Structure 1
Amino acid sequence: MGSALLPTLTRKREVDVIIRDTLDKVLVLRFGRASDAVCLQLDDVLFRTSQDISKFATVALVDVDAEEIQVYVKYFDITLIPSTVFFFNAHHMKMDSGTADHTKWIGSFHSKQDFIDVVEAIFRGAMKGKLIVNCPLPPERIPRFQLLFKDL
């Protein structure tokens, strides 16, 4: 339900503009597909939370299958979906969650409150000038994925 009600970006220019024009707020970009079950679960959390965090965050969905978006898919190495990327004043915000990848959140959030806690931590860190923050969630609520590297 949430994916139909949140803005969905399918063009590189749309992503460029929202990154550039979202000022003094955390920009949450969910990279995924509206047909994926985990994406729909995450979209529901994002939608139900978007009003609660609207004073300090903006949420948008990015369609990973859109041809123009492939430049971002490659740049952020979006291989697992959903992947959520955070920005603040056009700066890519990273989060140390104890996983190998600090550039994005992979998977869904267990609850609305988990998502709010993560966005608040990123906002507070960004307001202090940090580009990487520590994940506020306990390790058991952070999705784990085994990263496989081909041809190494």
Structure 2
Amino acid sequence: MESILLPTLTKKEEIDRIINNTIDKVLVLRFGRLSDENCLLLDDILEKSARDVSKFATVALVDVDSDQVQVYVNYFDITLFPSTIFFFNAHHMKLDSGTADHTKWVGKFHEKQDFIDVVEVIFRGAMKGKMIVHCPLPPERIPKYQLLYKDV
């Protein structure tokens, strides 16, 4: 089931283009599978929030099953789904949510307002020139996961 409102990117060139062409807005890229239940739950939240954040953010989905996006999947070490990556003016934005990995948000958001709050904090931080911002959500609303490192 593909999202009706959000574009689904399946090629490296599409991802490159949206990263480079999204100016003065946060770019939210959700990496996941269109058949995964957690991805569908997150997609529902993203679709419901897209209009609310449209003045300061653009949201797109990336299908990790496409062979043509594996360069991004490998670069960001995306092994857990869904994983959400944030950019601002083609710069990767990091989010300190108290987890070991600041490069991405792993898991789904509990509710629409949580997503909006995170994107707003990233936008405000980016407008001040920051490359990493602190997550505004309380610890109990941040997904917990175990990082698995390859070849360790």
Normalised by the shorter chain, which TM-score bucket? over 0.9
Partner AA of 1:5 in structure 2: L
Three-state SS of the structure 2 residue aligned to 1:44 is helix
Corresponding position of 2:91: 91
RMSD (Å), alpha carbons: 1.1
Identity of aligned residues (%): 75
Three-state SS of the structure 2 residue aligned to 1:3 is coil
Contact kept in structure 1, 2:121 and 2:135, CA below 8 Å: yes
Corresponding position of 1:30: 30
Contact kept in structure 1, 2:97 and 2:134, CA below 8 Å: yes
Question: CA offsets per residue over residues 88-111 of structure 1, 9 Å max, x none?
Answer: 000000000000000000000000
Partner AA of 1:107 in structure 2: G
Three-state SS of the structure 2 residue aligned to 1:95 is strand
What are the residue-to-residue correspondences of 1:3-152 with 2, within 5 Å? 3-152=3-152
Runs of 4+ in structure 1 deviating by more than 2 angstroms, as ranges, are 1-5, 148-152
Three-state SS of the structure 2 residue aligned to 1:148 is coil
The two structures have a TM-score, normalised by structure 1, of: 0.97
- How far residue 150 of structure 1 moved from its aligned partner, in angstroms, is 4.3
Three-state SS of the structure 1 residue aligned to 2:4 is helix
Structure 2: gaps (5+ residues): none
The two structures have a TM-score, normalised by structure 2, of: 0.97
Structure 1 residues 122, 2: closer, same or farther in 2, change over 3 A? farther
Structure 1: gaps (5+ residues): none
Contact kept in structure 2, 1:2 and 1:43, CA below 8 Å: no
Contact kept in structure 2, 1:76 and 1:103, CA below 8 Å: yes
Question: CA offsets per residue over residues 85-137 of structure 1, 9 Å max, x none?
Answer: 00000000000000000000000000000000000000000000000000000
- What is the CA–CA distance in structure 2 between the aligned matches of 1:75 and 1:59, rounded to whole Å? 20
Aligned residues: 152
